[in-house]
Amino acid sequence: MNNFFRRALKSPFVIGQRLTKIPRRHDSVVSDLFVWRADKDWNTYFKLFNISSFCGEDRVETVNLVIFDDHGNKIYSNKIQLNEFSINTLNIGKILSNLDLKTSFGTFSIFHSKNLDLFKKYDSYCAERGYVGYSYKNMPLKSYIHGNLDAVDNNLFPLGGTSLISRKYNLQFSFNFKSDYEVAIVNNTNKPKRVLLNINQSPNDIKSQVIQPLGVKIFLLGDLSVRENFHINLKSRLIMARPIVFRIDKNDFDIFHG
Amino acid sequence: MTPYYPILEAPYCSGETTVHNFPPNNWEISDRKHKNLYVSFIKDNFWVNHKIDEVPFGKSKTIKSQDLNSITQSSSIKIISLSPNTFPEKSRSIPKLIHRSTSTPLSRATLSLVSDKASTCYQGEIVPFPERATLLSFSPFLQFHKGIENFLILLNLESNAQIRTGNLEIFDGRNNHLKKTVEILSNTVNIISLNDIDLSPDSFPVFISKDMASIPIYLSSFNQGRQISIEHTHPPGSFAIHGNRFAVQREIKRFWFERFRTK
């Protein structure tokens, strides 16, 4: 098949479908939609930078922490002041401990106080894409991952694009059938999205979840019948359904972006 | 852009890289071909490109660092490539990968560190850095607890088959104090201990090299590998989205390089 026809076949995936929309206002700031987990086994930490001082602008900066439940409902917000050239650690489980929650996971975002002059100068927007640490049971090390989706602006407007037709995200990871995995997907669009998780392209191993805007769902892979290493793909109308993968073994765990 | 895949190295661990001969999505054009699996390393100022296997379309293949001991004892970075084409046995620059690959995201491999008791990984890749490039990394990943050690692993890949020397400087970002200067090498997996520079949970360590760019990976290890954790930091341009992020990054680097008045 020549290049013209190959490109023509791909055009429904491309035309008018941005991975990340441009915020409506030039002074907007943007955040990833980070996943939190907080229960008897899990806790979540966030490493928060004073981006303004890191860029040579205001020394003291205030950020707005907004926490959502798994359905994308806002359940908490609070302003936090950051000192110059500092890295603060937020303990999300501790922050949520006073709330009467019906879920043990959800999402959160961090909005810096303003779009910096440096970013405006180059038609850019301040983005919090920082670093989440997860602790599991009494294991001494946290497992850290970086942010991955420029998901939402400070008016809580989701910035993720929606695909005209379903598309597949093939996780380039070989799952070890001896380990337990949990696969988390966030919805950074303004409409609910159905996500189908398929194992080894088999029609018998499909899991399905509907994820609300700004929400998250976790697929549990511990009940699979497969007895060999396997691949998964995620089919949805998200532009890029890149998940977070939690691997859990008896004395070890690891978390990474898929 | 078609990426290469390094094999990681670290104390108490060995590196494993799992490559995947299938694209990460179904909406970009990519080759669906059987591919040759190469390892490239530097010997006598040449890249030596050694074919180690073939990978059918749709399959994954894991290369362990110990698998390469019979092929090379080179101290340079070992680079894994998937290519439908045949590589020359030796080359002055790393062979270009000319097949189609995706961009959103780039095709990635699973880069793992494995100890006797634990393992950790990230989905990653590497593309050659220009020689005139720099590094600025703020680390939030250091962990502090009895039995925990922290290391910085700097991955550098440049196209030319040479190993240059440069410096990495580690500063305390709060007071501009230089904590440590370390010699680093291009085309090498540089392993730098962070256990001898008096860092604490309140520290704000800043890592700078004006001599070469690298991927900065931070490893925390508990009880000599009983539990391990890695993650890399974003380049400073990732504080911004849209617009000219490269210009933003250039100005952030200029600010920090002047702040520390490095050489």
Tens of pLDDT along chain B (263 residues) come to 678 999 999 999 999 999 999 999 887 777 788 999 999 999 999 999 999 999 999 999 999 999 999 999 999 999 999 998 999 999 999 999 877 777 778 889 999 999 999 999 999 999 999 999 999 999 999 999 999 999 999 999 999 999 999 999 999 998 889 999 999 999 999 999 999 998 888 889 999 999 999 999 999 999 999 999 999 999 999 899 999 999 999 999 999 999 987 54
Which regions of chain A are under pLDDT 50?
none
Half-sphere exposure of B120 (CA within 13 A, CB side): 28
In a 13 Å sphere around the CA of A73, the CA atoms on its Cβ side amount to: 6
Give the separation between CA A69 and CA A22, rounded to whole angstroms.
25
Q: What pLDDT score does B2 carry?
A: 76
Looking at the DSSP bridge assignments, the partners of residue B150 are: B220
Chosen domain end from A153, A188, A221: A153
Among A120, A153, A186, the domain-final residue is: A153
pLDDT at A6: 64
The pLDDT score that the predictor gives to residue A179 is 94
Task: For chain A, say whether B60 makes contact (Cβ under 8 Å).
Answer: yes
Q: Is residue A229 part of a domain?
A: yes
Residue A23 in any domain: the answer is no
End-to-end CA distance of chain A: 31
Query: Do A19 and B104 make contact, defined as CB atoms within 8 angstroms?
Result: yes
Q: Closest chain A residue to B22 measured between Cα atoms?
A: A172
The answer to whether the Cβ–Cβ distance between A56 and B143 falls below 8 Å is: no
> Do residue A170 and residue B25 have CB atoms under 8 angstroms apart?
yes
Q: Is B174–A30 a contact, with Cβ atoms under 8 angstroms apart?
A: no
Chain A residues lying within 8 Å of B108, measured CB to CB: 172
Could you give phi then psi for residue A13, rounded to 5 degrees? -85, -10
Interface ipTM above 0.85: yes
Token digits for B60? 């994954």
Alpha carbon distance B226, A253 (integer Å) = 11
> Domain count of chain A?
2
What is the distance between the alpha carbons of residues A240 and A161, in angstroms, rounded to a whole number?
Answer: 9
A19 reaches B (C-beta below 8 A):
yes
Same domain, A169 and A241: yes
Same domain, A149 and A35: yes
Of A153, A184, A209, the one marking the end of a domain is: A153
Put simply, whether A166 touches B (Cβ < 8 Å) is: no
Contact flag A124-B25 (C-beta cutoff 8 Å): no
Q: CB atoms < 10 A from the CB of B66, how many?
A: 10
pLDDT score of B263: 45
Tell me the count of A-B CB pairs closer than 8 A. 167
Is the domain of A148 the same as that of A174? no
State the sign of the Cα–Cα–Cα–Cα dihedral B257, A80, A44, B221: positive
Domain that holds residue A221: 162-257
**Given 1.25.40, 3.20.90, 2.60.290, 1.10.287, which CATH number is that of B5-124?**
2.60.290
CATH number of B135-260: 1.10.3470, 2.60.120, 2.60.290, 2.20.25?
2.60.290
User: Is A251 domain-assigned?
Assistant: yes
A181 and A137 both lie in a single domain: no
Interface check for B181 against chain A (CB to CB < 8 A): the answer is no
Closest to A56 measured CA to CA, from B239, B199, B84, B104: B239
Sheet holding A34-37, edge to edge: A34-37, A105-112, A61-69, A74-82
Strands (E) across A18-128 are located at: 29-31, 34-37, 42-49, 61-69, 74-82, 87-91, 105-112, 125-128
Residue spans of the domains in chain B: they are 5-124, 135-260
Contact (CB, 8 A) for B201 and B143: no
Q: What is the CATH number of the domain that holds A123?
A: 2.60.290
Closest CA–CA distance from residue A131 to any residue of chain B (Å): 7
A42 shares its domain with A131: yes
